[in-house]
Structure 1
Amino acid sequence: MKRFPPPLRILGYALVIGLGLLYVLPFAIQLATGFKTDPDAAAHPLGMIPVTPTTAAYQRLFGISQAGDGVPFLRWLGNTVFVATVVTAGRVLFASMAGYALARLRFPGRTLLFGFLLSVIAVPPVVLLIPRFLVLNTFGLFDTYAAMILPLLVDAAQIFIMKQFFESIPREVEEAARVDGAGVFRTYWSVVLPMARPALITVTILAFQGSWNEFTHYLVATQSSQYETLTTGLARMVSGGLGGGTQYPLKLAAALLSTLPVAVLFFSFQRHFVRGANAGSVKE
């Protein structure tokens, strides 16, 4: 921007700020609506200041409403935290191990396996919904935590990210470890993996965000209300499954709370995320 004259710089900054405010506006409306009453939200949907501020929506979400019309938000949150944590840990472990094997180990069928991995990335997830349901039902896993977790433990795109990053690490580091007597797993775990911190953070964010926001898989893997997550529970709420009326404050308050953990995680590790995403494109 310093290369442009002051008027163009001012115009550019104004444009960037305007686009930023336009992006933030829906979240601000969402936050304000959560403190409105139902009639106020229906009458002034874009109002930024509630006419009669109230925390009734949040009281219903956390089960402290005196009217006895609470929403099982804490159960949804608990299921989501449990599944997302297990899936994230599994994806980081398996993606790093598979990525290192494809990047460094030489074994028969390695090229074919990598080609199969790329082909899996190209398959739209919606195509696999019915086969996934049939497999889970056949093995007796349908409507269990195992059905929610096991199919999500491995992600082809994240294996690809780890493979690309491992290939950017100089081989001399691993050769020095082998000279010192380290085996393949010891070299991977104690030498290479600590150097892959940016890629690990990237995969962690992607895995957590993907499992936290997952909807279609949970929809075909479960049917009992006890296994509802934030996404499936909110979908039932929006469809009118928890009572009549618009209930805009309740819905938007729940949506806001469900997005906060992912937003905090991303902005906390944004620098590492960008560095990890770009690291695989540059080789030493």
Structure 2
Amino acid sequence: MSATAAPPSPAPPAAAPPAATAPAPLRRRLRGWPLTMVLAAATGLSVGPFSWLVLAATRQGVEIFAWPPKLLPGGHLGDNLDRLQAKIGLGRVVFNSLAISTLQTAGALVVALLAGYAFAKFRFRGRTVLFALLLSTLVVPEQVMLVPLFKMMMSFGLLDSYQAVVLPGLCVPFAIFLMRQALDGMPDELLDAARVDGAGELRVLWSVVVPVMRPVLAALAIFLFLGSWNQFVWPLIALRSPEMHTLPVALATLHGNESTTDYGAILTGTALSTLPMMVLFLVLQRQFISGLLAGATKG
């Protein structure tokens, strides 16, 4: 009897074609769209008012508040600058602001570095109490100190001078606190090695501490310069003559009633007042960003 061939087994069912999926780079790009939209909206809210300020500085009169707003620059920037120079002496007040802010920032950085170094690296009696007293001044409103400060400057004969504005801003408790916290994490062995090599404390401070603390000093310089450049109340009280006015004080003198206020000149001066901060940040941005990254990656 001959063997019969086994019946062929049925063919397996054809597999269903895979569902079409987006490529991996496209999926990642689509997942990032919500975050991109949020960041774009935040950027627009931040840049929009500044862009309007710059455009308004090139217009005058009713053109500034026209609706719908014009998106192209006007042709009155030169006229606004001429009126600023005639009314407040633009070059003089800008020089006053730059001189006061530069001197105050440099002096405050030196004081903060020296005081922070002493509080962080030296052990002396009353250190904790002195540091606590220093921090307690952070909760004292600036307005409370105006009258005593005015009487002090008047008794010293320093009113209506750069010293009247610069000297009160040399000791900034926040700056000292920030430097003390930054220096507290610096290894003592690094300082001891420099001392063993025969370096004095000032040499250690300049050759060892300053290079390490450069990102912190750059960030602190930006904050201090911004605070000094924008201060208004104390320069308004201490600087009496128009020749000594800073830019914020001089711009405030341009305000009148609704019909006499020169908005074109005021907005042009306000736009110009942002230039020093932008230049300072561009100069120090590498140190500033490296300081932020160092703080973020510190373990």
* TM-score category of the 2 structures, normalised to the smaller one: 0.7 to 0.9
Q: What is the correspondence of 1:197-216 to structure 2 with a 5 Å cutoff?
A: 197-216=214-233
Give the conservation status (yes or no) of the 8 Å contact 1:60–1:70: yes
1:58 aligns with 2:81: yes
Larger Rg: 2
Q: Which moves more between the two structures, 120-129 or 204-213?
A: 120-129
SS at match of 1:74: helix
Structure 1 stretches lacking a partner, 5+ long: 64-68
Deviation at 1:111, TM superposition (A): 0.8
Deviation at 1:156, TM superposition (A): 0.8
Deviation at 1:98, TM superposition (A): 0.7
Deviations 1:14-48 (A, max 9, x none): 12112211211111111111111313224448332
Residue 266 of structure 1 is matched in structure 2 by 281
Give the TM-score normalised by structure 1: 0.86
1:194 aligns with 2:211: yes
Deviation at 1:208, TM superposition (A): 1.3
Residue 3 of structure 2 is matched in structure 1 by none
Q: 2:156 aligns with which of 139, 158, 165?
A: 139
Q: 1:128 and 1:279, CA in 2 relative to 1: closer, same or farther beyond 3 A?
A: farther
Q: 1:259 and 1:154, CA in 2 relative to 1: closer, same or farther beyond 3 A?
A: same
Give the conservation status (yes or no) of the 8 Å contact 2:120–2:183: yes
Q: 1:247 and 1:46, CA in 2 relative to 1: closer, same or farther beyond 3 A?
A: farther
Q: How many angstroms apart in 1 are the aligned matches of 2:240 and 2:259?
A: 22
Deviation at 1:96, TM superposition (A): 0.5
Q: How many angstroms apart in 2 are the aligned matches of 1:117 and 1:131?
A: 18
Deviation at 1:275, TM superposition (A): 4.5
Q: How many angstroms apart in 1 are the aligned matches of 2:88 and 2:243?
A: 13
Name the aligned partner's letter for residue 172 of structure 1. E
1:106 aligns with 2:123: yes
Deviations 1:239-273 (A, max 9, x none): 229x9623222111110001111123224434533
Give the conservation status (yes or no) of the 8 Å contact 1:164–1:280: no
Runs of 4+ in 1 over 6 A off after TM superposition: 280-284
Residue 117 of structure 1 is matched in structure 2 by 134
Give the conservation status (yes or no) of the 8 Å contact 1:168–1:280: no
Q: 1:210 and 1:248, CA in 2 relative to 1: closer, same or farther beyond 3 A?
A: same
Residue 161 of structure 1 is matched in structure 2 by 178
Q: Which moves more between the two structures, 262-271 or 124-133?
A: 262-271
Q: How many angstroms apart in 2 are the aligned matches of 1:53 and 1:116?
A: 53
Name the aligned partner's letter for residue 190 of structure 2. V
Q: How many angstroms apart in 2 are the aligned matches of 1:152 and 1:45?
A: 44
Residue 90 of structure 2 is matched in structure 1 by 73
Percentage identity across aligned positions? 37
Q: 1:250 and 1:153, CA in 2 relative to 1: closer, same or farther beyond 3 A?
A: same
Q: 1:152 and 1:190, CA in 2 relative to 1: closer, same or farther beyond 3 A?
A: same
Deviation at 1:277, TM superposition (A): 5.9
Give the TM-score normalised by structure 2: 0.82
Q: How many angstroms apart in 2 are the aligned matches of 1:176 and 1:217?
A: 45
1:257 aligns with 2:282: no
Name the aligned partner's letter for residue 64 of structure 2. A
Residue 16 of structure 2 is matched in structure 1 by none
Name the aligned partner's letter for residue 177 of structure 1. A
Structure 2 stretches lacking a partner, 5+ long: 1-24
Q: 1:189 and 1:250, CA in 2 relative to 1: closer, same or farther beyond 3 A?
A: same
Give the conservation status (yes or no) of the 8 Å contact 1:36–1:249: yes
Q: How many angstroms apart in 1 are the aligned matches of 2:291 and 2:236?
A: 32
SS at match of 1:55: helix
Deviation at 1:157, TM superposition (A): 0.6
Residue 240 of structure 1 is matched in structure 2 by 256
Residue 109 of structure 2 is matched in structure 1 by 92
Deviation at 1:279, TM superposition (A): 5.7
SS at match of 2:58: coil
Q: How many angstroms apart in 2 are the aligned matches of 1:198 and 1:187?
A: 18
Deviation at 1:282, TM superposition (A): 8.5
Q: 1:121 and 1:277, CA in 2 relative to 1: closer, same or farther beyond 3 A?
A: farther
